[in-house]
Every structure is written in C-alpha cells, then in structure tokens.
Chain A
Amino acid sequence: MRNLDIITQNRNRSWKFTKNILTYLFLIILSIICFIPFYIMIINATHSNVEINNGLNLLPGRYLLDNYKRMSESINIWKGFSNSLLISIVSTLLTAYFASLTAYGFAKFKFRGNKVLYWFVLSTMMVPGQLGLIGYFQLNKKLGLLDTYLPLILPAIANGNAVFWINSYIGSSISNSLIESARIDGCQELKIFNKIILPLIVPAIATISIFNFVASWNDFMRPLVLIFSPSKFTLPVLVANLRGTYTRDFGATYLGIAISVVPIMIAYVFLSRYILNGLTIGAVKE
C-alpha cells in the first residue's frame, strides 16, 4: 500500500512538473510570436534586395547604410519623425492642461448642471471617431486650416477620457480644506489651480499623457485626410506611402518601417511598468 502511495505521489509530482514546463513553453512560444515580425523587420533592414530576394535571413547583414541612402533619396523620414513629434507633444500638453482644468472644475465646484454636463462628457467618449470626419474636413476647408497642424492639435483640448481619469484622481487625492485655506489666503482661483492643484495631480497627468502621446503618434486617418504636402506628412502617413514609393525595394521599405517602430520599442523598455499599470486603472470594477 505504502509503495503504491509513493508511486502515485511521484507520478503526481512529475505530472505537475511536466505541466509547468508545458505552460512555460506555451508562454515562450507566444512571446516569440509577438516578437518575430519585429525581428524579421530589423534583420531585413540590414540586408540588400538581392539577399532578401534570394533567401531567408536570420542574422544581421551589412547593407544598413546602403538601404538608408536609397531611402533618404526619395523620402525624408526624419522630417516625418519630427512632424509627428511636434504634433504629439503639443497635443499631449494641451490635453494635460485642459483636461486637468475641466476635471478640477467638475470635481471641486458646485454649479447648476454639473452632473448633467459631466455625464455628457462621459457619453461623448462612446461616439465613434470618424462620425464627424467629413464635416470636420469641410469645416477646416472653410476656415482655411487644411494642410496645417491646427486641426490635428486643437481637438486635444476636449479629451473626455483624460477628464474622466483626472477627475477621479482629484476626487480621491485633493482635499477641500486645501483649496479653502488657499482662498482664505486670498489666492485667486486660477492661481490656486496653476500653483497648487496642478503640481499635486502630476502622477495622474503623467500616466494619461503616455497614452495620449501614443494615440496621437499612431493617429493615421486624420493626418491622411487633412494634410497634403509631403513635407508636412506625419510618420504613419509616410510609412503608409513606403509601399507605393518602393514597389520592389524591400530593404528600404523594411528600414523605413524599422525607423518608425524601433524608437517606440526603446521608449517601451523604460516605460513599460507605467504603461502596464496605467492600462488597468478604470478598466476593472471593484
């Protein structure tokens, strides 16, 4: 009897061990699936078209500079890069300031219609983005703003998602007595916000800003519709045009894609903890 027990115990233990190995194997295979297209991209960006045409490359090659030279002859990818950077930074800053201001107004001031208006802000988050795109294009045409960055940047002032996020943070972290005492000291309302409230809610602003930056950086349809001059194209629009520009030049195409992707990956190495934590706030009902 005792022997049998030991045998089943061993069998259980070895089954558990195998199960663990299989689980890790599964997780590792999924990780490889997530990464392999990027690996192919980086590797092929360093190979000549002849090498890409003739076989599978698994190790880096020596043609990175050649590919870069050919790519630079017809498109200015760094211009696209700096255009995207400019738009994303300004949009993110606008959202950071005005979403905080709006959230503060809703969280700390009693006024008629506060609840209704806040509910209205939340409900606008459900409206699909391109519902008004045609009207938006025509509006900017009338205002003479087509082919400028203003129509890409200004809407950042009204970002319902950011208002919702910062509002809940202010509600839980800023006490009313703090505001009251500043008022008694004779501080003006806007000054209270700029000098006292804003520095205190930086953690919430930082997290939401990462996501706003990424969303603006990845935005494709609006710049595609609103910008016409190639020198003003954002990075996604330039990358989308790569295929048309280099129909058979795969080395240059891979390199162009890589230049648009690798900086994001580098930033992710440093920010992944904030990003992953930020994702889940507000997603789970507790």
Chain B
Amino acid sequence: MKRLKIKTEGYGYFFIAPYFITFLVLQLYPILYTFFISFTKWDGMTKMTFVGLENYNRLIRDDVFYKTIGNTWIIWIANVIPQMVLAVLLAVVLNYKKIKGSDFFKSIFYLPNLVTATSIGVLFSVILDWQTGSLNRILIAIGILKQPVNWLNSPFYTRGTTSLIQWWMWFGYSTIIFDAGIKAISNDIYEAAIVDGANRRQTFWKITLPLLRPTVLYSTITSLIGGMQIFDIPMTLTDGLGNPQQSILTMVLYLYNTSFKRNNYGYGAAISYGLFVIILIASIILFKFINRKSLYD
C-alpha cells in the first residue's frame, strides 16, 4: 500500500501542472508585469522610462478618473437595487403553488443575459436613435411623447439607459438564483409557521428573507465585481468614448481608451490597479456589512 501512495504522489502534481503553468505564464505574469508597467512611462514603442509613483500621483488627482468611478457606481447602484428587489419578489411569486408556467417565465427572463452584450449595446443604440429609432416612434404612437427625445444626447438618459440595460440583462439571472435559494429552504419551516398561524407576509419577512440573505450576499458581490468592470455596453451604446459629456465613461472604458487608443500604457496600468483596489475594498465592506447585519437576527 505504501508503494502505491508514493507512486501516485507525483501524478497529482503531473495532473495539475498544465493548469499552473498556464496560469503562471498567461495570468500571473501579465498581472505582475502590469504592476511593473504602472511605475513607468511607456507608449509601447520607444524605451520605457521608470517614473516611480508618478502615475499613481497623477491618478489620485485625476478628475476624469473620479468621474469614471462616479459613473461606474451610479450605473451599478441604479441597476442593482431594483434588480435585487424585483428578483426576490419574482422568486417568491414564482414559488406560489398557484402560479403555473414558472419555468417558462424564468427562461424568458434569462434570455437577455445569454445574448452577446456587444450586440445588445449596438441594438439599443439604434432603437434609441432619436430620428429613426423605434423607442421614440412607440412613445409618440401611444401618446406619451409629442416630440422625439434625443435620448443619447443627454447624460442623464444615457446613463439611465445603461443602468436599464444592465437591469434588463441581469434581473432574470438573479431571479433564478433566488428561486433556487427559496427551493432550498425546508418546507417544514413554512408548515410549522402556518400551524402557528403565520400568514404569507409574515413568512416572507420572518423566514424567506432571512434565510435568503446568504444567497443575496453572493449575488450582490458577484454583481459588484462584474458591475465595476462594465465595458461592453458603454463602449457600444454611444461613440466608444463614454459621451455625451463622458456620462458613461466607466473605469474600464477609461482604462481601455488610455492604454489602447492613446497608447499610454504606464498610466493605463495604474488605472488597472486603482480599479482593483476599489473592487477589493468594496467587496470587503459589502461582505462585512451584510454579515454583521445577520448577527442581530
């Protein structure tokens, strides 16, 4: 038996080796190399010059960077709150025994999430076109608007549209996750509550919601990590520069434009690490915040 163990020990390393070699060369090395580039001034062509902390100094004084943080957070918060509230509500409703066809509704709600985000960004840009787009046509036809509105010329509407698209793409996903969360709650708990005379509203607030909290936490953190990296929709909805008035210039869009359109790799690398720190801190705060709350239950 002992011989067998010694023989197989090496195979463990052998089997996980391709993963780690690929990871080290294609993921970890680029991450460390990006960190190194963030201390240099470099256009990718001429010689790299070491500038120390200059890029980070510039970053913490960069008004555009703060604007992109603001934009990214506004777009995320404006979609995540209605998204989570609606998803919890839908998951509860779809679990009512009387509601038929819940699988059908779930599959329809999930459809926008599956479709390529780039296609969705371009699609909305033509639907919202103020002269020929279908949105203005519909709103005028049913009497909500008298004049066509130039949606994508207004910072407010453009940011709102971005949030709305994110909401539209993700509420179905969250609904499905919460639906599974509710199905995982033991029926005995509900039956005991009903025997004790609890009504539907009470079981929702006292049983469903507290027991769903870990699932909501999980979803909110994944949504945060994804939402801070939003790129495809703001890139394709307008001119790719985050206009009008840089209202949908998100952190990653700024990172992309700085690095790959203006070839300013040093500063782009500093933005990458700024973004990483923001995601890290926000995830930790969110985790602590929701975890502490559950202590009082």
The chain A residues found within 8 Å of chain B, CB to CB, are 20, 23-24, 26-27, 30-31, 33-35, 37-38, 40-41, 44, 52-53, 55-57, 98-99, 101-102, 104-106, 109-112, 114, 117, 121, 124, 126-139, 141, 151, 154-155, 157-158, 163, 183, 189, 193, 214, 217-218, 220-221, 224-225, 235-237, 239-240, 242-243, 250, 253-254, 257, 260-261, 264-265, 268, 272, 275-276, 279-280, 283-286
Cross-chain contact A34 with B168 (CB below 8 angstroms): yes
Cross-chain contact A133 with B30 (CB below 8 angstroms): yes
Chain B residues, Cβ within 8 Å of A117: 16, 20
Contact sample, A vs B, 30 pairs, CB 8 Å cutoff:
A23-B96, A24-B99, A35-B111, A37-B123, A101-B16, A102-B15, A102-B18, A105-B13, A105-B16, A114-B12, A128-B225, A130-B252, A130-B255, A130-B272, A132-B32, A133-B259, A135-B34, A139-B26, A214-B114, A218-B116, A220-B117, A221-B252, A221-B256, A236-B119, A236-B232, A260-B119, A268-B114, A280-B179, A283-B181, A283-B219
Tell yes or no: B8 within 8 A of A by CB.
yes
Name, among A112, A126, A217, A265, the residue most crowded by chain B CB atoms within 10 Å (CB to CB).
Answer: A126
Known: A35-B111, A218-B118. A127 touches B177 (CB 8 A): no
Cross-chain contact A37 with B22 (CB below 8 angstroms): no
Tell yes or no: B93 within 8 A of A by CB.
yes
Q: How far apart are B104's CB and chain A's nearest CB, in angstroms? A: 8
Tell yes or no: B54 within 8 A of A by CB.
no
Cross-chain contact B229 with A130 (CB below 8 angstroms): yes
Name, among A33, A135, A275, the residue most crowded by chain B CB atoms within 10 Å (CB to CB).
Answer: A135
Q: Quick one: closest B residue to A285, CB to CB?
A: B214
Cross-chain contact A127 with B31 (CB below 8 angstroms): yes
Bound Cα distance A24, B117 (Å):
29
Cross-chain contact B18 with A109 (CB below 8 angstroms): no
Interface residues on B, range: 35 or more
The B178-229 residues at the A interface (CB cut-off 8 A) are 179-181, 184, 214-215, 218-219, 225, 228-229
Tell yes or no: B134 within 8 A of A by CB.
yes
Tell yes or no: B235 within 8 A of A by CB.
yes
Instruction: Report the 3 A-B pairs with minimum CB-CB distance, sorted nearest first.
Output: A105-B15, A109-B12, A135-B33
Bound Cα distance A209, B10 (Å):
29
- A interface: dominant SS: helix
Cross-chain contact B111 with A268 (CB below 8 angstroms): yes
Q: Quick one: closest B residue to A225, CB to CB?
A: B260
Q: Which of B62-70, B76-84, B124-132 contacts A (4 or more CB under 8 A)?
A: B124-132
